Amino acid sequence: MRRYRLSAKLGVGSREGGEAAVSSYYPIVFLVDVDNTLLDNDRIQRDLKEHLEQAFGLAALRRYWNILENLFTELGYRDYIGALQRYRAEHPRDVELLSISSYLLGYPFRDALFPAALGVLKRLRSIGTTVILSDGDVVFQPRKIERAGLSAAVDGRVLIYIHKEEALDDVERRYPADHYVVADDKLRVLTAIKQFWGARVTTAFVRQGTYAHDPKVVGAFPAADVTFERVGDLLDCDLLQLRSAPCVEAPRLESAQ
């Protein structure tokens, strides 16, 4: 077993700050996305829309969501708090709108986890180093990951970037490995990761959520190395084979056949 040693600043969600020694990593590292991979983000959006319409009316919902989508185009991720700030700038005297931030930050994210999500992380950790790898802002996304129980499930190994596919060199610096397995619901991201790490990575496409079922989005990129219909299918997969035998369909455990 090859082991590595390096000095690195720990990422978001780490239990220590500043310079720290990172050592004794397994040859395989699992990098797992959050939104629509472990957490049902479509459900969270539906609940937010319902809350906004009931509390503030359809016009407020439509305007806030329009700002949110414009920010998504601008930033590459959905900045819920940033959209609220822009909405507030347009309606400086509607102080009641501030309650939206309380709703967002107090949302019961753990209830929105996909079935078996925590069990999958537990199983991955039994095989190799497991890290949450996500895009997002610096307030809402860490809060979501923490309150959902995902940070604790990976011992605080959480990395949040603006565009994670553009920060893979930093991921590798923090978590060096012979091989990576990346689970994500976006083929665009998986394609970029494959281009960066090549044969050193197995890309796992989790077909959950809006993007994973949009034929225009999915059809624009090559297939991932393996495909799962739901994140819970990772419990039935021979994870060790993912390192050496990439394929379109995930290798199954003998007991699951």
Beta strand spans in 43-177 (E) = 129-135, 158-161
- One domain, residues 195 and 249: yes
The CATH number for 27's domain is 3.40.50.1000
- One domain, residues 57 and 143: no
Q: What is the pLDDT of residue 77?
A: 84
- One domain, residues 29 and 51: no
- One domain, residues 50 and 66: yes
Q: Which of 109, 124, 144 is the last residue of a domain?
A: 109
Structural domain boundaries enclosing 182: 5-40+113-256
CA distance 33 to 73: 20
Give the residues of the chain that fall short of pLDDT 50.
Answer: 1-23, 245-248, 253-257
- One domain, residues 46 and 153: no
- Residue listed under structure tokens 């720290």: 20
Domain count, the chain: 2
Indicate the burial class of 235 (C-beta count within 10 angstroms; 0-12, 13-18, 19 or more): middle
The CATH number for 78's domain is 1.10.286.50
Q: Which of 80, 109, 138 is the last residue of a domain?
A: 109
- One domain, residues 161 and 227: yes
List of residues 6+ apart from 172 with CB closer than 8 A: none
Question: How many angstroms separate the first and last alpha carbons of the chain?
Answer: 30
Q: What is the pLDDT of residues 93-146, one digit of tens each?
A: 887 877 888 899 899 999 999 999 999 999 999 999 999 999 999 999 999 999
Q: What is the pLDDT of residue 252?
A: 52
The sheet with strand 129-135 has its strands ordered as 158-161, 129-135, 28-32, 179-184, 201-206, 226-228
pTM for the structure as a whole: 0.83
Q: What is the pLDDT of residue 38?
A: 97
- One domain, residues 224 and 124: yes
Q: What is the pLDDT of residue 25?
A: 61
Give the Cα-Cα-Cα angle 108, 64, 188 (nearest 5 degrees): 75
Q: What is the pLDDT of residues 147-163, one digit of tens each?
A: 999 999 999 999 999 99
- One domain, residues 139 and 233: yes
- One domain, residues 101 and 126: no
CA distance 108 to 245: 38
CA count, 13 A, side-chain hemisphere, 16: 7
Q: Which of 109, 133, 163 is the last residue of a domain?
A: 109
- One domain, residues 82 and 178: no
- One domain, residues 201 and 176: yes
Q: What is the pLDDT of residue 6?
A: 31
- One domain, residues 10 and 120: yes
CA count, 13 A, side-chain hemisphere, 168: 20
The tokens for 136 are: 């997002």
